[in-house]
Amino acid sequence: MLDAEPVSGEELERRTIRRSEFVSCNQAFIDCRTPGSDRKQNYSMIGKGVSQSADQFINLQEPHGFNIGAAAMPNGVTNNLHLHFTAEVFLCFRGRYLLRWGARGDEGELLLREGEIASIPTWAFRGFTNTGPDDGILFTALGRDDTGGIIWGPSVLEEAAGHGLHLSAEGELIDTVAGGSIEGVPLTEPISEEQIAALRPYSVDEMRRRVATETDLDWSGDAFLGSRLPGGGAEFAPVIGYGLTEDRYQEPVIHNPHGFTVGRLRGRPEQGVPAHRHDATQVLMVESGEWEVTVNRGEPLTVRLGPWDMLSVPPGSWRSVRAVAGAADGGPANLVAVTGGDGRVRLEWDEQVVKAAVEAGRAIDHDGYLAPAALVPGAPGR
């Protein structure tokens, strides 16, 4: 286990990204002047993502192995068809979005509702339209530090050129209306019809299996060694990859590698996850309610996070999380954990948590899952 230095107050503040600190860019992509797509706001909180603007503001540039951003746009506004080389996951924190896919958007459609999470396959054209309220927001998690950018549908590039926007071969946005020049600059060539025909199609049923609705989730109130102890009690559901769970019977909705795993945590006030650490990068994103995250052991520091706030916890750092206020609708507080890596994450628990769990008859077996302490060789106290 990585033995990280205690997190300083300055470092904790640097890694805390408040909703009020999101900075939008309305010229992040080549379709930013296309009618029907010209009122998009793009955000890059962790890494640049796939933004094509040199002016894109990034809250935290430190490599995590994944990127986190968001798209906000009024009702009826569309994000045009494009494909990604690495994973793209949509987390609908507010509103409704109609997803469509295929090079012409005619392979299928699905509606993504508030609280749902969708993973769109790589090398598949996708686009989406806000069909809900004007203040809807779609957070995105993108695989790898270097995403490789995106490929736009041929008609998107053609229409953008009519508005003075071009894309260099290196993926840089060139605005000839604002004085940019494409003279002597190699431009991105549109994908050919033959190349489009070679892409794998996806049926509606196949895509539906990549959307995690509330009824799809496998919630467990016994997902962690500390779940039954003071400071525990929060329920956990793996969404993409097995990730953090220590409940051997839990399964995620989506299994294929993304470069990160996604899990959802929910709890009533005073419920949470006791002190633990692991070696993976991790970003905790508050969906609803309010949460407190405490880092370090000897010199604990606590930060309180509200809706849409997020915290990047350094690898190897001790952390505990606790719900302190429920959702506005009276339901439990909800938090999303995005954790680096494709596989399971082995947690190290604070020694007091381990001792209390053994006294309650529980331990972690040699495969990293919960088991009766009396049956685990080498369990503390045996």
The DSSP line for 199-210 is SPP--HHHHHTT
Sheet holding 260-267, edge to edge: 16-17, 310-313, 282-288, 333-340, 260-267, 235-240
Kindly report, residue by residue over 82-128, the tens digit of the pLDDT.
999 999 999 999 999 999 999 999 999 999 999 999 999 999 999 99
**Average model confidence (pLDDT) across the chain:** 95
Q: Say what percent of the chain tops pLDDT 70.
A: 99
Give the C-alpha separation, 235 to 157, whole Å: 45
Q: How confident is the model at residue 306 (pLDDT cuts 50, 70, 90)?
A: very high
For the beta carbon of residue 218, count every other beta carbon within 10 angstroms.
17
Domain ranges of the chain: 9-211, 216-375
Question: Which CATH superfamily, name and number, covers 9-211?
Answer: Jelly Rolls (2.60.120.10)
Both tokens assigned to 92: 């609908």
pLDDT at 75: 96
Answer whether 8's CB lies under 8 Å from 298's CB.
Answer: no
Amino acid found at 219: W
pLDDT at 204: 98
Answer whether 260's CB lies under 8 Å from 336's CB.
Answer: no
Kindly report, residue by residue over 315-358, the tens digit of the pLDDT.
999 999 999 999 999 999 999 999 999 999 999 999 999 999 99
Q: Domain 216-375 belongs to what topology? A: Jelly Rolls (2.60.120)
Q: Say what percent of the chain tops pLDDT 90.
A: 86
Tell which residue, 84, 2, 38, has the closest CA to residue 340: 2
Kindly report, residue by residue over 246-282, the tens digit of the pLDDT.
999 999 999 999 999 999 999 999 999 999 999 999 9
DSSP labels, 260-299: EEEEEEEE-TT-EEEEEE-SS-EEEEEEESEEEEEE-SSS
- Once rounded to an integer, what is the mean pLDDT over residues 197-222? 98
pLDDT at 381: 60
Radius of gyration, alpha carbons of the chain: 22
Residue 73, class by beta-carbon neighbours within 10 Å (0-12 exposed, 13-18 middle, 19+ buried)?
A: buried
Which positions ≥6 away from 336 have C-beta within 8 Å? 91, 117, 262, 263, 264, 265, 284, 285, 287
- Once rounded to an integer, what is the mean pLDDT over residues 193-200? 97
| Residues written for the chain | 382
pLDDT at 351: 95
Kindly report, residue by residue over 355-373, the tens digit of the pLDDT.
999 999 999 999 999 999 9
Give the C-alpha separation, 181 to 328, whole Å: 50
β-pairing, 41-46 with 58-60?
parallel
pLDDT at 382: 58
Give the C-alpha separation, 61 to 63, whole Å: 6
Give the C-alpha separation, 35 to 235, whole Å: 44
Amino acid found at 10: E
- Once rounded to an integer, what is the mean pLDDT over residues 199-228? 98
Tell me whether the CATH fold assigned to 9-211 matches the one assigned to 216-375: yes
Please tell me the pTM assigned to this model.
Answer: 0.95
